[in-house]
Every structure is written in C-alpha cells, then in structure tokens.
Amino acid sequence: MSEIESLDHVLARIADPGGKGNLVTAGRVAMTRVRDGTATIVIDATGLSAEQRAMLERQVRAQMVAVPGIADTRIAMTAERLERTIVAVGSGKGGVGKSTVSANLAVALARLGKRVGLVDADIYGPSQPRIMGQPNRPELAGEQIVPLPAHGVRMLSIGQLIEPGTAVAWRGPMTASALSNLMEGDWGDCEILIVDMPPGTGDVQMTLTQKWKPAGAVIVSTPQDVALIDATRAIDMFRKMDVPVIGFIENMAGYVCPHCGETSDPFGSGGAEAAAGVMGIPFLGRIPLRLSIRTASDAGTPPAAGQGEEAALFKRLAERLVEELARAETGGHHAADD
C-alpha cells in the first residue's frame, strides 16, 4: 500500500459531516501528499459550518497521529462559494408588519425543507431577535459572524451585537459596514437568505441592491392608501436597481371581532391586491389583523412555527414565494404582466 493509499484508508474512517458516508466516499478529500514526513491534506469543506470545519480538522489530526512515518500534518480547507438566493422584504414605510412577515416567511420556508437564513438589515430598528426569540450574541469564526439558530432558521441581527435599548447612531458608511458583516456571515449551506429591509429607500437599501443583487423583492403593505403610496416608492427603487419585484403581500387585512365575530376593515380592503394588479406584480396573499399574530411575535414564537390556521397561512405564502422565485429564475413571467 502506497503512502497516498494509506492516507485515504485512514481518512475513510472519518464520517462525512454532511451525512454522505465517509470523507473519501463523499468526495471531500481533494488532495493528499506526503513529503519528508509531512502529510498535506486538502479537504473540500463546501456547505460545512465553521463548527463542522473545526471539528473535522481535529478528527483528521487525531487520525494522522497514529500513521507511521508522519511527523507533521498540514490541513487546508477549501470551499466553493454557494450561490444563495437573496430575497429582500421591503416596504415604503414603517409600521406595516414587514419584520413579522419576514420572520414568518423564513420559518415557513424552513418548514418546507429549505435551508434558510434570516438577515435583520434594519440597522436602526432591529426587531428580529425579539420576534425569533434569539437575542444571544453570536460568535466569530475567523472574521465571520456565525448565525444563531431559531425555529429551524439561521439568523443574524445587529440587535444581537449591541446592548438592548441602545440607540444605533451611525452614519452611512458604518451602516454599510454593519450590513456587510451580517450578509457575509458564515451562512454555511443556506440556500435562501431572507433580508428584512429597513423602511424607506435609503443607504442600506442601496448598498444591498448594488452589492448583493437580490434575486427578487417582496413588498409588504397594509391596504390603506398612504401605505400603498409609500410601497410604490419602494417598488420603483427596486426596479431602478434592476431587482425584480416578485411578490406583494397585504398585511393587516381585515379584523374579526373576538366577541361578536363581525369582520371590519380598519385599514381598508383589497388595496394591495388591486395595486399589484395595476403594476403587474404577483399577489402572494393577505394576512389578517389578529391579536394572536402580534402576541406570538412579541413572545418570540412566530406563528409559522406552530400548527394552527396562521401557520397554514404563512405556509401558503411561502409556497407562492417559491413559485415566483422559480419563475423569475427561469425567466418566466406572471399572468399579470401580459
């Protein structure tokens, strides 16, 4: 048995962290070489988290200690940059429930089997740590921030990096740097990144659309005219930046009185759907104004993580989003564009 074959035999004893047999059968061993008692091993770490890479390196070193003739081991980890689908969730104004929608879309997508990351890009008003019930401070892996798990989603927010209640009084360059740290975190094998955008059309929105080029944008609005006017500005910004608007969601659409059962429309009715039709944007659905959605979000348990009617509602929205992403990727168009 040659030295190279001997190394492969040893590496085959280590299980693939991705669950595909061992390192050799999984194709992780990119190169092995032995020279003057030093073993050089190159491992393909594509899709592995920082923790998995560190553990894998420890396992390889532990196995190599027992190999005759090997005095030193050099290990290099390489990884292909995974192409992630970035979805920006935006609105023209605050107070329309955009962060709640972002969180629940992310959780619903994860429950559909997608590998999802959630970026809280609302630098000045981060709310995802509260909504997702994950306020803990993330760790660093080298120069990358490691996202924290919450309800099957990996998430990062500036709210996890500052003291609670602290005002973020930063100028444009600092917000752009903060956004870069979040977007370039160690997202591992995440295939979809949901980005909860700040309201309006300022520095953060421009930086995101220029540097990371989302595959599509989802607009959240209440049915009322003022919200729709502001949402139109957000749509115009995305279109000018050549980011397709792939969905419109109408939030706070209708209120059912818990006492008498009567339905009312404090913010109007159908405005977002009508606007979507006029602008040729797919309408993904509407979310009613319900106390249960608000209380669950305040408690850090997004309704999409449950089993009730609201979980089913967000599941349908996530399914529609997946459909529109696939259509955008293949160059298709929505019937409303005809």
Separation of alpha carbons 324 and 331, rounded Å: 10
Is the torsion defined by CA of 126, 129, 132, 133 positive or negative?
negative
All structural domains of the chain, each given as residue ranges with its CATH number in brackets, are: 3-78 (3.30.300.130), 85-337 (3.40.50.300)
Q: To which H or E segment does residue 173 belong?
A: helix 172-183
Both tokens assigned to 264: 């009312």
Q: Would the annotation count 261 as a binding residue? A: no
Q: Would the annotation count 18 as a binding residue? A: no
Cα distances from 240 to residues 209, 233, 235, 249, in angstroms, run 10, 11, 9, 21
Q: Would the annotation count 20 as a binding residue? A: no
Question: Taking the model in full, what pTM does it have?
Answer: 0.76
Q: How confident is the model at residue 335 (pLDDT cuts 50, 70, 90)?
A: very low
Q: Would the annotation count 95 as a binding residue? A: yes
Mean pLDDT of 122-134: 92
Name the average pLDDT for the chain: 86
Q: Is the pLDDT of residue 36 over 90?
A: no
Q: Would the annotation count 92 as a binding residue? A: yes
Q: Would the annotation count 98 as a binding residue? A: yes
Q: Would the annotation count 93 as a binding residue? A: yes
Lowest mean pLDDT of 65-74, 87-96, 224-233, name the range.
Answer: 224-233
